[in-house]
Every structure is written in structure tokens, then in C-alpha cells.
Structure 1
Amino acid sequence: MDSILPNYTKAQLALRNGQDRPEIWVAYQGKIYDMSHSRLWKNGKHYEHWAGQDLSDELKDAPHTAQVFEKYQAIGILI
């Protein structure tokens, strides 16, 4: 299934930060998720985290598990 998802670079992901463009994307474990409709990601910020980044290394400090990403659709692969 992942093979049908488009590939995006870190530079392309960085533009989807809720500031430069309206999209709010984050990456986790190689997949990119669209958080644009999440009330928890208003203006591209979620507590001390910013959209447009790979959050894989930051999850260990979060009060939730990786299961939170199951609520969102993966829209791309981070290359």
C-alpha cells in the first residue's frame, strides 16, 4: 500500500508547517501525516512541537503513544 503514496523530501515537508502553506503535515517513522484538520495542531503548533518536521525522535517525550497516528491518514513517504 505504501508504494502508492507519493514521496516527499524533508524540504517539501518543511513547507507544510501551517505558516508557509495552509497544510499541516508531520512525519513519523517514515510516513507523512496530514494534521490540517486536527484541532490540536492549530497554526501548525502542537504544544512544543511544530509541523513540517519529522517527529519520530520526539514521541518518547509525548504523553501519548504512536497509536495517535492511527487516527490520521498517511499521505506520503518521507525520503
Structure 2
Amino acid sequence: MKEYTRAQLALRNGQDKEEIWCAYGGIIYDVSPSRLWRNGHHYEHWAGQDLTKELGDAPHTDQVFGRFRAVGKLV
């Protein structure tokens, strides 16, 4: 799996490039297909970031990432 830095992840925030990516547990997911991530944000969460610590505030579990394609590893 390709490796990406936090700076590379930050470019996929829904503003700078077409891709909308988020990281969780060291894996980067493409959330672009989700209508909930349009414009790069989902409620108080922003794309292009590692959301591992923020998941505790979400009304869902980490299983939600199973809906999205893993595109790489966060290094």
C-alpha cells in the first residue's frame, strides 16, 4: 500500500484536489463517494486529517470505514 505523509493527506481536503481523504488507525480512506463528505467536512470533522482521536465523539464505530476504499498508509 502506498504511503502518504500528513502534508499529502492534507491536500485531499475537498478544497485543493478532487479527492476527499481521511485517515483512521494509520490507514487513509477515500471518502469522496459519500454525500456526507461533500465540501470536505462532515459535521464538525474535516477531511484531509487523521480522525483516529475524533471517532470517540461520533455516533458510529470504526466499521463505517469499511464502506470506503483504502488508498494508503499514513506515515
TM, length-normalised to structure 1: 0.93
Indicate whether 1:32 and 2:34 are aligned.
no
Structure 2 residues not aligned, in runs of 5+: none
Aligned to 2:9: 13
What TM-score results when the alignment is normalised by the length of structure 2? Answer: 0.98
Report percent identity of matched pairs.
Answer: 68
Runs of 4+ deviating beyond 2 Å: none
- For structure 1, the residue ranges without an aligned partner over 5 or more in a row are none
Aligned length: 75
Cα RMSD between the aligned structures? 0.5
Q: Which of the pair has more CA radius of gyration?
A: 1
Deviation at 1:45, TM superposition (A): 0.6
More helix by share: 1
